[in-house]
Amino acid sequence: MMKIIYVLMLGILLSLFVGCKRDSNSYANDLKSESDYMAVENKDMKYEDFSKDKYDTIILAGGCFWGVEKYFQYIDGVVFTDVGYVNSKTLNPTYKDVTSGVSDASEGVRIVYDPKIVSLDFILKMYVRVIDPTSLNRQGNDVGRQYRTGIYYDSDREKKVAEKFIKKIAGNYKEPIAIEIMPVNNYYEAEDYHQDYLDKNPSGYCHIGKTEFDDAKKAKDNMSSKIDKDEVSTPQKKEYKMPSDEELKSKLTKLQYDVTQNNKTEQPFKNEYWDNKEEGIYVDVTSGEPLFLSKDKFDSSSGWPSFSKPIDKNLIIDSTDKSFGMERTEVKSSGSNSHLGHLFDDGPKKSGGMRYCINSASLRFVPKSKMASEGYGYLLNQITE
């Protein structure tokens, strides 16, 4: 009997220490049945089974590969995935070789997709939603060279798409983009227990939140025949111009100007939107660019409007704020560089665990009934999801 107990305890310990680090952000905490996490149906097929004439392949590294693989399996047009070690300096590296740094390989996800259904550009847009593209050798709780971000191509066309995409998003961030763009020199499939890990271990660790998985399920690339396009599910790029300082002073109230331009903070519970429950969107009060959806707003009891995420992470830039003897993360609108508020990690776990604490004075609310007439009709489908 004691021998059986010993074997069981040893198995539990091994499950905790093998693979990526674990924390409370379990992928399946909120899932109700197996059907909630089944995605790509070609589980019994191998990479070699897919014709290169019909399908394209890209390898992406975005931290722990368990969650990244599951995320991309949900996206319409992705027909196959597996996980492995990219650009290793040693032959046939093991997971131990990768985690020790001996191989210098990164944890990658090999994605086979149908270009008639989903484009590489769209895949990259979905990719940057679940990583911090400015973080070097770290994603979530995972730290090390093997967790670096990267786009690994095997054709000049893929290289050009990747380079153009990175150039396009670079202006949205204060820090330089840390995603490496390199040819696939080699790729070794990871051990079997890493493949489809979250299907086998639905309560396993993942640095990607449930909200992002839900977004992947709904993601559709309706213009996949075009390489350069804006996806339907995110704000279509309009020219949201930042008014001059003189125009801002005449357009904004004193409080709005002080908050957005001088980094002031309004009073809690005495601002316009802290308790607003109406459906609609919240736009940058200075430029009109849409930033947050009402469905992502929650009651944080802080007295300020709180959101679990922006409409698109590229709309927000963050930086360290050491004012008032504290160290916090300031968030600004990337389009206008206007101060919005601060970012905290005490938000709802089921929505990713983040809280965007935003000043009402930095926002303008557009109710659902007026979105079409004010030019935001393309976001209506996101309000009703």
Residues with a known catalytic role: 64, 357
| Nearest in space to 96 (alpha carbons), one of 207, 205, 191 | 191
Amino acid making up residue 254? K
Q: CB-based contacts of 221: which residues, under 8 Å, 6+ apart? A: 76, 77, 117, 118, 119, 122, 231
Q: Is the Cβ–Cβ distance between 349 and 208 less than 8 Å?
A: no
Q: Is the Cβ–Cβ distance between 303 and 359 less than 8 Å?
A: no
Give me the residues paired with residue 57 across strands.
Answer: 112
Element (H, E) at 292: strand 290-293
Find the Cα–Cα–Cα–Cα dihedral 356, 361, 364, 367, rounded to 10°. Answer: 80
Q: Is the Cβ–Cβ distance between 130 and 68 less than 8 Å?
A: yes
Q: Is the Cβ–Cβ distance between 93 and 86 less than 8 Å?
A: no
Token pair, residue 20, equals 């990526």
Find the helix packing angle between 120-128 and 65-73, rounded to 10°: 130
- What's the DSSP call for residue 70? H
Q: Is the Cβ–Cβ distance between 179 and 150 less than 8 Å?
A: yes
Q: CB-based contacts of 357: which residues, under 8 Å, 6+ apart? A: 300, 302, 304, 305, 306, 341, 342, 343, 344
